[in-house]
Every structure is written in C-alpha cells, then in structure tokens.
Structure 1
Amino acid sequence: MNRLYKIKSFFFISMLALGLTMAAGSCKKAYLNIDEYIYDFIQLDSVFATQDKLLQYINGIASYLPAEDRLWTSSWSPFQGASDENFTSWNDARHAGIKLLLGEITPYTANSYYNNYENWYRGIRKANTVIARIDECKELSLVTKREYLGEMYFFKGYFLYHLIQQYGPAVIPSDTAQDLTASSSSLSLERSSYDDCVKYIIKNMEQAYNLLPATKDALAEVNRPTSGAALAVMSRVLLVAASPMYNGNPAYATWKRSDGTNFISTSEDNSKWGKAAVAAKRVMQTGRYELYIFPRAADTDPLAANVPSAAYPNGAGGLDPYRSYKYTFVGEVPATSNPEIIWSRNVDPRGTDSPLWLSTPSHMSGGNGLNITQDLVDAFKMKDGRDINSSSATYPYPDAATAYQPIGALKNISDVQLVANTPKMYDNREARFYANIGFCHSYWKGTSYTGTDANIKNVEITYYSNGTAAPINTFPNDYNHTGYTCIKYNHFADNMKQSGSILPKVFPMFRYAEILLNYAEALNELNNPYTDALTGITVERNVTEIANAFNRVRFRAGLPGLSAAELASQATIREAIKRERKVEFACEGRRYHDLRRWLDAPVAYSQPVVGMNVAASSSNRQQFFTRTTLNEQLTLRFWSFKMYFWPIPKNALDKNTKLVQNPSW
C-alpha cells in the first residue's frame, strides 16, 4: 500500500469511528449554525492548502455518516428498536427506539432523541464546499481529485437519503455555499416534494458512480464508497420511491407545498418500478457481486430431498447454507474476500453498544436485553421450505402437545450444536433460523474464553425464571422477556468475558441479497416494459427472471426455490418476496422501512406480542414452551399515522420559518 493510501485509510477510519459516535446522539445545533459556518469559512483557506489537510476535512464530513451497525443500544435511529421483530428490556435513553413504539415521542423529545437533522445538512454543505473549491488544492493528482469528488457527490446523496428516510420530504439545499450576508428569510427554505428529493439523490449518485473507483482492494479502504455502492443506494432509494407509501398514496392528498405540489404523489406511476428494476440490474451487470458461498463440509446438514442439488446458482448442492449466510455477519471472512458486501463499515463488537453485548446473558458479561418476537421466529421455515403451519410428514412441526419435548440426542449443524434438550419445535428448521435466533436450550460455545469459570463457555442457555440466563442480583431487570434473542452477529468463538479475542466484524449496509430481492420485487410490480433513457436497459415482468433472482437467495439458504403456488400470480409472488425479506434481512434495520413502504405497518403493529412463558421455571417445561401473549408495559405497542415519519425536531422548526412539521405531529 502506498503512502497516500495509508494516510487516507488512517484518517478515514479514525475520524469515522469518532464521528459516528458523535452523530448517534448529537442534538446541540440547529439546521444552519452561523457560528460554525463562520469558523469553517475562516479555516477553509488552510484546508485547501495541502492534500493532507483537505483529506482531514473530507474525513470530518464522513464523520456525520450514521453508525448503522448500532441497531439497538446507543443507536443512530429508532428504526430497529421500533421494529415489529423485537423490543429491548429497557425503556431508557440508550434504547430510545422503543419509545416510538410506546407513543412517547413528540417534536420536543425529538430534540433529544435521534436528532440527525442538522448533522446531515451540515455534511451536505461541507461536501458542496469541497466540490466548489477542490481546484485550489494544487497537490492533488487527477485520480485523487476524481475520487474525492466522487465521495462528495456520494455523501450529498447519502445524507439526503437518510433525511428522507427518517423525516420524509426534505429541504433540498443549494449546491452552492450559503451567503452569510443574505436575510434570514432567504436562508429559510421550503421542503421539496419526495419525488424531487429522490431526483436529487439519484443525480448525485450518478455523478458519484462516474467518479468513484469500482473496488477497494485494501482492507482498511473497504469503508470508503465505491461506484457499486452508489448503484446500490440508487437501487434501494428507487425501490422505496416506487412502493405504495410514496407512489399514489391518497392518505397525503391534503399535505402540500405552498405552490400546491403534493409532498407525496397521489398519482401512481408504474414506471417507477421500472426505474427500480433497472437500478438493481445495473448492480447485477457489474459482475462484481455475488452471494457469499461456503463449501459443503462434513458437518453440513443434509439438504431436504426437494431442494435442488445442482451447484449454486441453480441449486443448493455443494454449499453449506448456515455458514454461507452467517459468515457475512460474524467476522469469519474478510470484507475484501466477500463478494456479497457492497458497502460496509467496521464494527467494534467489544463495547456495550454492540448487538453482541445486548444478546449475551448477564453472567457472561452481556446485557441480556434483546427480545425477539414469536412472529419473527415463526417466519423461518422448515428445512424443506414448508411453513411451520403446513409442514410435511418428513419434517413435521410438532403440535402444542409435543412441541416442548426434547429431541433426545445431540445434533451438530455446521457451527451449531443442538443439545439433547432442544425442543422439537426448533428441530429441522432452515439454516437461517439457527443463524439468527437464540432460543431456550441454545448452546453457546464462546470458545475464546480461557478462564476457569465453567459457566462462561460451552453453556446451555435457558430462559426459565430460574434458568442459566436468569437475571443476576445486581441487574434484576436484565432478563429476556420472550425466550428468544438475536444471535446474527455472534460468532461461536465470541465471548464478552474474553472481549479481547472477539472477532473483528463489518456491518454490511448494502449486500447483494438485497439487490436480488429488489430486482425480483420491482420486476413483479412492473405492468409494462420499461426502457431507461440513460443506460438503454429494458426491463419487463418476466416470471422466469423473477424466479432466477429470487431463487439465488433461497438456494443459498438451502431451501427449494419458488413453488408453483408462489409463482401463480403477481399477488402470490409479492407475498413470497415480503416473507423472504423478513427472514433474509432479520434484525438488519430494514424491516421497519419495508413495513412502512408497503403500508403494512398498521396491520403488523396491531398484532399482540407473543413469546414463550418466561415466568415458568425449569420444572414446568411444558408451561414455558407455551405461546404466551405479553401484556407488560414494554409490549404495549402503539401505531398511528404520524409514525410513518419521525418528527422534525422543534429546534429545527424554530430556525426555519418555512419548514412545516410532518402530518399529525
């Protein structure tokens, strides 16, 4: 690695790590902070004097990017904590996502919780400054200048993407620096329509795509965006824009700009699905990405007879479904060697903000406070691809009278050990179930621990009231409420008691499985052929092509592809895609947004929270493994129309007289 790349890597990684922490909880400044603007203005001449100083400034902009791996604890957004997949065991400032579910958020409290508004606009403004003045830095080579400019356009689009994801239609700032001598009224800008915001994002991502390099070969560079990352952002943004929430939604008919333009279109435009399909296809056509595949090993669970045994991508033959899925999340394979990862960020799983901490039992130095709902658990299929409610005679899902009974013999599945006490209801499930869900009688290896306490590794974790994961005396509220937790980010060797040996990990903000399912969904919803004017790519609804993209995800999971019943109609394919996204992206921060864009949130959040009966002791095994509706304060879910968007913080409204609040807030 040459000296330039070493310098770039050092500043970007260190500033990003520091800045992401700041961005997650900062709420001190308003949308346009004049004092800071003047400070930046004074310093800019020195910033552009040398390449090193300019890089430091650029890395400072990167520090406003959200820490997207912080899903629950000290999280950057409420969306995973407020998902129907889960809830945390505490309603506090560190787990404020649950406050949205419980109806405790107002525009005033939004000043304190997840106030990202000002930082993301600040990031856009600073990126504009670099674009306007980059020629003043005479030390830059043409290659480096292109890369820096590409990152600035990427940041502009990415910050506005996050703004519309959290707050809805946004103020589109000028592409030039603010004139400090202008009147206060001219510095107040009105929100643009959602469609215009999408156009702004796509325009900037197209510029980023044309300027950014295709790959980052050095491990320290993988956190920097590439041209493929720009395409992936476009794929996600355009898919959301085509969805019912933003494409012909009559619920926002009276919400308009001062010129009469609807903030959200009330007229459906089916060609938006064509734009989304083209964006996904552009990623696919790069040839740089593929689902991660780990070869079959001696301990790989045999495939069900109805799963195609041809080699991937035509079947699941020759692969280990569990490791192929799991290893992207747990640090087993470097990001530079994983073709599934399009863009990621480094994660430090050792701290008490990590998913690893939240899911780990208290006596193993964890928080023991992440609760997964029965609804998510039930979404995972049997290993032959059948739903638990229509399971086959070969792999039957047990009835209530036998579900609690133990399987009776030890069973090894890749890195997973099912102990003899494992209930029958958790036997013969698909590989992604074992990769995601920790349940009562799960076996936690934690092999990195080298101490002498026998209760710290190779432990059978139970969530009975007197189980091995029962709360310790000093933290009586740190217990699991449903009998399930998420272990997606836990490597079998990881142990919070031996935190120094926890595997370094990356969090994939964009991975290829999303692109495949985006493509399948967009094609399925497309009524007429669509040709993209920029690329010349033509897409149309083709069931075979939908199945080819979708089935790659299914085959990688060791399951059969789409059945004839699932392929029967647009509606049945739509439901299959929704189910697949729910399972494939479990606890990755996508579920809340999917429910919202499909307009499925009101139904999903009206369902009661169900789990196991954790009040039962180990002597009442059958009672514990009884589906139980939870009626405690933490599970009293609240949904209303206003929750489609986070409220604009009150301090931002006070600074911009033309800024209107989101509906019903």
Structure 2
Amino acid sequence: MKRIYLLLTTFSLLLLQACNSFFDQMPDDQLTLDLVFQSKQYSEEFLAHAYSYVRDEADRKGGVPFDPLSDDFDVPYSESPAYPLNIGNWNAASGNYNFWQDYYRGIRQATYFILHIDENRELQGMAGGPQLIKQYKAEARFLRAFFYFNLLRQYGPVILIGDEIIESDLDGNDPKMNLPRTPYDACVDYIVSELDLAATDLPLHFTAQSERDYGRATKIACMAVKSRLLLYAASPQFNGNTEYVDVVNPDGTPLFNTQYNATKWERAAKAAKDLIDLDILGLYKVAGDDGNIDPYRSYRDIFLTPWNNEVLFARKSSDLGWPYEKHTAPRPIGGWPSYSITQQLVDAYETASGKRIDEPGTDYVENGFSQADGTYTEAGTYMMYVNREPRFYVTVLYNGSYYPSRVNGDQRMEFFRTGSSGRDGARDYPHTGYIVGKNISPNSDVRNSQFISRPYVLYRYAEVLLSYVEALNESSPGHPDIATYLNAIRERAGLPGVPQSLGQSEMRERIRHERRIELAIENLRWSDTRRWKIADQTDGGEFWGMNTGAGTSLHDPAYYQRTVFERRVFRKEYYLFPIPQSEMDRNSNLVQNPGW
C-alpha cells in the first residue's frame, strides 16, 4: 500500500487518452503516494483518474445496460451483454454489466484524494493554492457521491465506507472485509449530505469555469444528481414497497423501509425546484425564420450544441462518434446500422396535433402511403410515419427516412429485406426496422471514420422540470406549477399543453408519458420503469418492429407489418441487479438482492 496502489489500478485504465484535456492526464505509475501529494501536477493527475470512473454512456453495445434493457431499444448482437439478460439467461455469477468493483475503485480513489490533498506543500504554498485544494477536495467528494448513487441505482443498498481506506492486504476474516450493506434510506441521506457539502466549495456552473475545465464538478452538477437521487428514492420501488420486507442484514437490520413516506416526494420536489429557482438554466430553443420556436432544431441541437443552457453535467469526451454514430449510420457510408428503436417507442409518439395514436378522435393513419409532402416527410412515406410530433423525426430513423449527413450526402434508410441496410447479406441491420436518429452529428464523416467530438450529456434541465412536476403531482396534486412546467416542455416540442384541471392519476400518466418521449434514448427509461414498478409489464413478452424479413422496395407493403422480433423475459428479481457472486463469496455479511 505504500506504492500508489497505484492509483488503485496502477493506471492501467487509460480511458481517456484521445484528447488533450484535464481528464487525460495520468502520472507515472512508479510514483509513490508521498510524491504524488507533494506535487500540484501529480495531485491533479490523481484527481483526473478519479474522473475516469464517470462511465461513458454513449456505447450501447457493451457499455451500459440502461437503454439496451429497456422497452425502447434493441441491440441485435448476441455477443452484447444485454442479449442474455433480455432473454432471461443470467445469474449473479454471469458478470454482465458488473460495475460494482469499478465504482468502488472510483470511490477509493476519491477518498484517498480527500484524505491526502491537504498534504500538498506545493499547493499550500502558492497563491490561491488553499482555495484550489478546497475545490479539488469538493470535486472528489462529488465524484464519490456520484459513484455511490450509480451503485444505488443498479444494486439498491450498498456498503458505505465513509472516509476510511481499507487496506487491500487484510485477512479475509477481518471485520473490515465483511462490512454489511447500509439500509437504502441511509445511503440516500449520506449521498445527499456529501453532495450538499461538496456544493459549498464548487463553482456554480460550467460557465464559471475555464473551457478547459468543462465537465468537472459544479454546484449545479451536485444539485442535479441530488434531484435524480431523491426522485428515485420517493418512487414506488423504494417508498412503501412491501415486497422488500424480508431483505435484511445478518443482524436483522432491514435494508428497505417498507412504510410509505409522503415527505419523500416533497423532498424530491424541493430539490428540483431549487435548481429551477437559480434562474440561470433553461430549455434550449432555436428560433425559426418566423421568429417562433423551431421544435425540431431545438430538440435536435440540445445534443449537438456543446455546453448550451440546458446542460447540467456532461462527460467531456465520449464514444458518440465511435461506436455510437458508427452503429446508427447506413451501410453505404460504412455504418453498422444496429442501434434499434422498438415499435413500442414508435407507437408512443403523438401526432403533430398532440393526439396519441390510439386516442379517441386521433388523426393518426397507419396504412398506405402519403400522396403529398408533409412538414418532415415527402410524398410516398408510409402513413404510420406521417404527421407525427417533431421529436419523433429527431429520434427515429424509419424505412424511407434520410440519415442526417452533410458530409456523406443524403442517405436514404432502406431497412426492407433487400435494402441497402436491410437483412440480406449482413449481420448489421436493425431487427426492429428502426434506427436511432437522436444525437447524431450531421458533420461527422462516417465513411472515413472522422467523427465530431462533443460531450455526452448526462444531466439536462428538461429532466429537472419533469422530476419537479412528477414529485409535485404526488405531494401536492393540482398545484399550478405542474401544468406550467410540463407544458413548457411540450411548447418547446411544438405540442399543445395539457389541461390544468387533470386529476392526479391522469396527470401522473401524462407526466410519465412525457418523460418517456422527451428523455428517450438517454439511458433513463430503465430506471423509470423499475422505480415506477411497471417493468414487469413493459420489459417482458413480445417485442415488436417491422417485418425486416420481407420487402424488396420502399413501397412493398409486406415490410410494413408489425412483427415480433424478440420475446424477452422479465422476472421480479430483475428490478435490481444481483450483487456479483464474487463479492458475495468474499464477504460473509453481504446479503444478496431478493430473488437471486
């Protein structure tokens, strides 16, 4: 342990070496801890490595499970870790998406930094150095809280270690190697307190930082994580869920409070409203030629305009070019079109008039082909895709639509069997008949693997508004803010507002629907269906798309048939990931999640 343990992984994870930024710096792996915390440069590099544990969520094939395991998305590769999970072929020893160890490495890295940065003589002796130490310590504290939250999101109650560094060479029977899990509510309170403490010594917003430091922790990032955390904690999965009544530590301590607590919703509403009341954030909007909001460009460009007023926290470097855009591009320009959207999500989008496709009086038409150009479609488009709301055209690439590329030219998406990105002769095709269009830069050159680098947005302001109205509807139904802020999002989307007079249950359904559409393919749907306790209804059974095994032209009706592409399995135990079996084997006091 006298060597850097070395940065806990001897810096073998050189995760961010592509860009010359704060996050790319790594110290020499032969340094001692004493030397690291005598040098400003090496201390900053130590902190930079802690940031590397902020997971890149752009990679949907093997990166994170949250979109690939949701009812909105499909990755058609059998080698993807999502595939066996979706068909129910996994257990605690499978190892798929095992983030437990990585996040605890990040926690250990951050804790070591918090405990030792005050020893840095170079920083202590320079002008402004003591203040910089306070800021750096706050950044590490934010990171530690962020990693704990991500563990909580995936596994439920975790082991809280606090400010102690547990030596790696302790005997397996040592009590410190056999710490029990901390009850869920206590985990929440600890993470909130750490975020609040970190916020006091951080710049308010990335606009208060130099551009080189964008992506580092801010007060607003702390508030955003706190808002999401408290919303999840107030939701049915963790607020009055009696199905967890028997989940207890070996000493009998319950890991979940199964009594419903209405104040959790109040707490979540306040956390979101605190962000709103800062009055420096907003929904990103682009004006059209007529001076009004252009809903298509406004929604599309949230992700293409770096560091705009909607961004709360983002990862500065990401896999948005490779592999994300590579897996959304058509084959004629060198793409591997496979990041797929399900028919379930397609059907969830409203029409341009704000009607659901199955709503009484809807103007939706499913069959046949259009006779004239529409706002976002041309004549000859299958009617299912005509006259839908603007966010649909940003998010969904369907048969006959165009891939957004200024560099490689207009590329028509052909997903029918013999089409240029169809099933015949290739393993890379969308099994659903749809490809993700959201968060694709039209300036990327896929053919020559020259992608536009941009941050990956992890938290944005629209989510805060949706969290606020959801929590407010549960804690204070009928409050005028509910319709006001929900309709602000719908206005930006070019849709009519919802009535203020809706009852609590109907407003709840509207809010959940809006959250699904507005935040689609942003790795949030997985958590939402679980915390609402509806995943057993949404994530199992038949999954639908178009008939990709048929069709020889864009207008061949054989292709446009709803077809089951996969039958997924969802069991009650899937509401939480299992604690990895390797961790269970090492720790006699570690209790497994229910059903595993």
Alignment of 1:106-117 (within 5 A): 106-110=91-95, 113-117=96-100
Mapping 1:363-512, distance limit 5 Å: 363-390=332-359, 396-399=363-366, 403-405=367-369, 407-411=370-374, 413=376, 418-449=377-408, 457-471=409-423, 473=425, 476-500=426-450, 502-512=451-461
CA offsets 1:305-355 (integer angstroms, 9 cap, x no match)? xxxxxxxxxxxx7110011111012x2x231xx11000011345575422x
1:154 maps onto 2:142 in alignment: yes
1:176, CA displacement in angstroms? 2.1
1:91-130 residue CA offsets vs partner (Å, 9 max, x unmatched) = 10xx2123211112222212xx222212211222222222
What SS is found at the alignment partner of 1:623? coil
Q: Call closer, same or farther: CA 1:51–1:637 in 2, change over 3 Å.
A: same
- Matches of 2:381 and 2:317, distance apart in 1: 32
Q: 1:472 to 1:424 in 2, by over 3 A?
A: closer
Q: Deviations over 1:611-630 (max 9, x none)?
A: 11122213572222222233
8 Å CA contact 2:318–2:456 kept in 1: the answer is no
Match of 2:102 among 104, 116, 119: 119
Q: Distance in 2 between matches of 1:293 and 1:641?
A: 41
Q: Which amino acid in structure 1 is aligned with residue 57 of structure 2? A: E
Kindly provide the CA deviation profile for residues 158-192 of structure 1, in whole angstroms up to 9, marking residues without a partner as x. Answer: 11001111111101113122257865321210001
Instruction: Flag the 1:543–1:621 CA change in 2: closer, same or farther, 3 A.
Output: farther
Inter-partner Cα distance in structure 2 for 1:570 and 1:215: 35
Give the aligned CA root-mean-square deviation in angstroms.
2.4
SS at structure 2 position matched to 1:609: strand
| Cα deviation code 1:531-586 (max 9, x no counterpart) | xxxxxxxxx4453111111111111101111136xx42110010001100110111
Cα distance change of structure 1 residues 404 and 261 upon mapping to structure 2, 3 Å threshold: farther
Q: Secondary structure at the match of 1:148?
A: helix
Q: State the distance in 2 between where 1:558 and 1:596 align.
A: 29
Distance across 2 between alignment mates of 1:650 and 1:606: 25
Point out where structure 1 has 5 or more consecutive residues left out of the alignment: 1-11, 21-38, 299-316, 450-456, 527-539
Kept in 1, the 8 Å contact 2:416–2:423? The answer is no
CA 1:284/1:15 → structure 2, altered by over 3 Å: closer, same or farther? farther
Counterpart contact for 2:397–2:435, Cα < 8 Å: yes
Distance 1:272 1:613, change over 3 A: same
Paired position in structure 2 for 1:85: 72
The aligned length equals 567
Partner Cα separation in structure 1 for residue 259 and residue 360 of structure 2: 42
Matched residue, 1:660:
591
Select the residue among 295, 310, 325 that pairs with 2:287.
Answer: 295
Mapped contact 2:544–2:562 kept (Cα < 8 A): yes
CA distance in 1, matches of 2:404, 2:297: 16
Aligned match of 1:358:
327
Amino acid at match of 1:114: Y
Alpha-carbon offset, residue 19 of structure 1: 11
Q: What corresponds to 1:134 in structure 2?
A: 117
Which of 298, 313, 335 is residue 343 of structure 1 equivalent to?
313
Superposed, 1:295-314 pairs within 5 Å as 295-297=287-289
- Give 1:157 deviation, angstroms: 0.6
Partner of 1:30: none
Q: Tell me if the contact between 1:79 and 1:97 (Cα under 8 Å) persists in the aligned partners.
A: no
The aligned amino acid for 2:182 is S
Matched AA of 2:365: P
The one of 557, 564, 567 equivalent to 1:636 is 567
Whole-angstrom CA distance in 1 between matches of 2:390 and 2:317: 24
Which residue, out of 174, 198, 201, partners 1:211? 201
Query: Does residue 648 of the first structure (1) align with residue 584 of the second (2)?
Result: no
Q: Distance in 2 between matches of 1:200 and 1:222?
A: 27
Q: CA deviation at 1:49?
A: 0.7
Q: Aligned to 1:622, what secondary structure does the other structure show?
A: coil
Match of residue 6 from structure 2? none
Write the distance in 2 (CA, Å) between the matches of 1:409 and 1:181. 72
TM-score, normalising length from structure 2? 0.90
Are 1:577 and 2:516 counterparts? no
Partner of 2:23: none
**Greater displacement, 54-63 / 621-630:** 621-630
Partner of 1:49: 38
> Normalized against structure 1, the TM-score is what?
0.81
Q: Percent identity?
A: 33
* In 1, Cα distance between equivalents of 2:541 and 2:509: 18
- Shift in alpha-carbon separation, 1:510–1:16, aligned structure 2, 3 A: farther
List aligned pairs for 1:591-630, cutoff 5 A. 591-618=525-552, 621-630=556-565
Gaps of 5+ in 2: 1-10, 20-27, 124-128
Specify the code of the residue in structure 2 equivalent to 1:219. E
* Whole-angstrom CA distance in 2 between matches of 1:491 and 1:410: 25
The amino acid of 2:323's aligned partner reads: D
For 1:34, the equivalent position in structure 2 comes to none
Which amino acid in 2 is paired with 1:464?
A: F
For 1:590 and 1:114, how far apart are their aligned partners in 2?
Answer: 16
**Contact 2:71–2:539 (Cα < 8 Å) also in 1:** yes
Within 5 Å, which residues of 2 pair with 1:201-280?
Answer: 201-217=191-207, 218-280=210-272
- Between the aligned partners of 1:268 and 1:585, the Cα distance in structure 2 is 27
SS of 2:74's equivalent? strand
Tell me how far apart the structure 2 counterparts of residues 349 and 487 of structure 1 sit (CA, whole Å): 16
Matched, 1:59 2:29: no
**Cα deviation, residue 364, structure 1:** 2.1
Q: Structure 1 residues 421 and 348, CA, compared in 2 at 3 Å: closer, same or farther?
A: farther
Q: Distance in 1 between matches of 2:404 and 2:185?
A: 49
SS at match of 1:468: coil
Preserved CA contact (<8 Å) 2:414 2:421: yes
Q: 1:556 aligns with which of 492, 516, 540?
A: 492
Work out the CA distance in 1 between the residues paired with 2:103 and 2:458. Answer: 17
